[in-house]
Amino acid sequence: MNKTHKINGYTDLYALMGYPARHSFSPFIHNYFFNKYKINSVYLSFEILPIDFKTAFSGAHKLGFSGINLTMPFKEEVLNYIEELDEDAKTIRAVNTIKFDKEKKTIKGFNTDINGFMKSLDDNWFKWDESNCLVIGAGGAAKSSIYALIKKKVKSIYIYNRTIDRAYEIKSLFNEIENNKLVILKELNIVPINEINLIVNCTPIGMGENNISDDNTIPIPLDWNLNRKYIFEMVYKPVYTPLVKKSIKDGAKIIFGTEMLLNQAAFSFEIWKGFFPDSRYLKKYFKNSFK
């Protein structure tokens, strides 16, 4: 890690807003990038009560912040306060990155989760056009993942969520783009698991848990054989979730939640600073530090 730069009156301000937010690795990641490239910027984390979000967002703008990241539950609410969206954010109606343009005095929203998801799989040599995919969950992470899979033209996308109405909402969102490839599962165990190449966990199941013998801590049936399948675990705390531990045991190819976190952060950094940062050190750090 490089020596921390000095903060002064010309330091650009960036932050994460969410509820909760204190657990996030985002300040660690972005401040590493700023230090690595000797950029006079600092990144903070703010845990904002939902009732206070509008005031906090306006305050960040008025205080001269250069950009912010958003996590749950603000990725959709922020749409009410933005004049301009990039195409990805416009399509899935969710924003995770804000750029405050001080010269043009504009606020633009982006969604870097989509590119972060695609890069995470590209870095692991995933074959998009040959794959049948299962996405578990129906929140913002699921929307981003499904849209990325549609853009990459995979063979089929199975969607499972415990509340089936939420899954149908996602299918409805993408009906105009791709209808034939999206299959809603009423029960998870009816998926043709032998034909599935990629499983994406977009639920919080496994967060903070360590015991894979309890089926409440893992989002898939314990008797599934994951050998040679790609397993994309969105949960990153702990890094080695029950799903990751089972995947290692079964011989699966794992994309860790920290890889997704790093890649979406790098795309946010590129929006703010104009170039894509090298995150190889951080990727190794996360993988080796939390076993």
pLDDT at 257 over 80: yes
Count CA within 13 A, CB hemisphere, residue 212: 15
pLDDT for the residue 199: 98
Of 49-63, 86-100, 173-187, 254-268, where does mean pLDDT reach its minimum? Answer: 173-187
Average pLDDT on 59-70 reads 95
Average pLDDT on 57-63 reads 94
**Residues contacting 174, CB < 8 A, separation 6+:** 146, 147, 150, 182
Cα distance between residue 198 and residue 171, in whole Å:
19
Cα distance between residue 160 and residue 153, in whole Å:
19
Task: Report residue 211's pLDDT band, with 50, 70 and 90 as the boundaries.
Answer: very low
Based on the residue annotation, tell me whether 75 is a catalytic residue of this protein. yes
**Residues contacting 76, CB < 8 A, separation 6+:** 93, 94, 95, 140
Q: What is the pLDDT of residues 108-148, one digit of tens each?
A: 999 999 999 999 999 999 999 989 999 999 988 899 999 99
In three-state secondary structure terms, 35 is helix
Q: Is the dihedral of CA 222, 223, 226, 227 positive or negative?
A: positive
Q: What is the pTM of this model?
A: 0.90
Q: From the candidates 54, 62, 75, 90, give the one annotated as an active-site residue.
A: 75
Burial (CB count within 10 angstroms: exposed 0-12, middle 13-18, buried 19+), residue 184: middle
Could you identify the residue written with the tokens 């599962």?
Answer: 185
- Domains, the chain, in order of start with CATH, read 12-111 (3.40.50.10860), 114-258 (3.40.50.720)
Strands (DSSP E) along the chain, which ranges? 12-18, 41-47, 67-70, 84-85, 97-101, 106-110, 132-136, 156-160, 182-185, 198-201, 230-233, 253-255
First to last CA, the chain: 20
Please give the mean pLDDT across all residues of the chain: 91
Task: Report residue 209's pLDDT band, with 50, 70 and 90 as the boundaries.
Answer: low
Cβ distance 129 to 156 under 8 Å? no
In three-state secondary structure terms, 178 is coil
pLDDT at 237 over 90: no
Question: Which stretch, 70-84, 205-219, 256-270, 277-291, has highest mean pLDDT?
Answer: 256-270
Q: What is the pLDDT of residues 92-102, one digit of tens each?
A: 989 999 999 88
Q: How far is C-alpha 217 from the geometric centre of its chain's CA atoms?
A: 20
